[in-house]
Structures are given as C-alpha cells and as structure tokens.
Amino acid sequence: MAIRSRNARLPPEVNRTLYVRNLPFNITSEEMYDIFGKYGAIRQIRQGSAKDTRGTAFVVYEDIYDAKTAVDHLSGFNVANRYLIVLYYNPSKQTKKVSTKDKEDELRAMQEKYGVDGEQHAKPAKKKEDR
C-alpha cells in the first residue's frame, strides 16, 4: 500500500465536498455513512429529497485527502444495482438550468417593475449629421 504524502499537490478540482448521483432512492443515512465513512471522517451528508434531487447527495469530509480517496474508490461502485457517480462539488457547474423563455419573462418583469421599456438601448442614437 502506498504511503500518501501530505505535501503532494492535488488537482485544483479536488475539494472536501463530493456530489454523488445515481443513488438508490431508498438508501438510508446509515447506509450512506457506512459506504462513505470507510474513507475518512465525515462532517455532513445531505441527501436530496425533492423530486428533482432524489438519488443525489452531498458528502462533506473533514479532510480533503479522504475525499480524494473516496472519489477514487467509489466512482462506479455498485449499490443496489446502481453504479454511483461520485464527483467533486463544483459550484459553478451547479447553476440552475433556465430556459431562454424564463429569462425573457424575468427580464420583462424587471423592466415593468423599474419602468424601463428595454427599447431605449436597442437603437443607436442618431448623430447630428443624420437629422
């Protein structure tokens, strides 16, 4: 077994928070702690409970090296005939997907709220020579 060096440089995406997908919907907290606790001390596990977050969880380790070991060993791990997808949490990739129509509706609502018609910036101002 290789000895891990505390001075080894980790890739920039490595962090203590893991994002886990493809979990069985009926997995218990105890089972989560059993699976992920083998790789180090866990600070917190948050399982998704809403319709669009079921089957996902965030696992936060106390130590970044334990999180890396968990990713290395648990990616593709079979739990109740489901293969886990274990990723490092990346907040910039977790932004909510919003359709263009939703963005346009939100923009219109803000224009109405603040009394801006939106057309004032659409056309370039006429130059004196054009008048």
Domain tally, the chain: 1
pLDDT tens string 15-59:
999 999 999 999 999 999 999 999 999 999 999 999 989 999 999
Tell me the CA distances in angstroms from 40 to 19, 48, 85, one per residue in order: 16, 22, 19
Residue among 93, 80, 103 at smallest CA distance from 15: 93
In a domain, 64, yes or no: yes
Q: Confidence class of residue 1 from pLDDT cuts 50, 70 and 90?
A: very low
Instruction: Give percent of the chain above pLDDT 70.
Output: 79
Q: Return the number of other C-beta atoms located less than 10 Å from residue 39's C-beta.
A: 21
Q: What is the mean pLDDT of residues 81-101?
A: 80
- What sign for the dihedral angle of Cα 24, 34, 29, 52? negative
Residue 37 to residue 23: CA distance in whole angstroms: 16
The answer to whether position 114 is within a domain reads: no
- Across all residues in the chain, what is the average pLDDT? 83
Can you tell me the mean pLDDT for 95-115? 76
Q: For residue 62, tell me if it sits in a domain.
A: yes
Which residue range is the domain that position 74 belongs to?
Answer: 17-91
- What average pLDDT does range 119-124 have in this prediction? 54
Q: What is the CATH number of the domain that holds 22?
A: 3.30.70.330
52 inside domain: yes
Is 63 within the bounds of a domain? yes
Confidence of residue 2 (pLDDT cuts 50, 70, 90): very low
**Range list of H helices, 61-122:** 64-74, 100-114
Q: 101 lies in a domain?
A: no
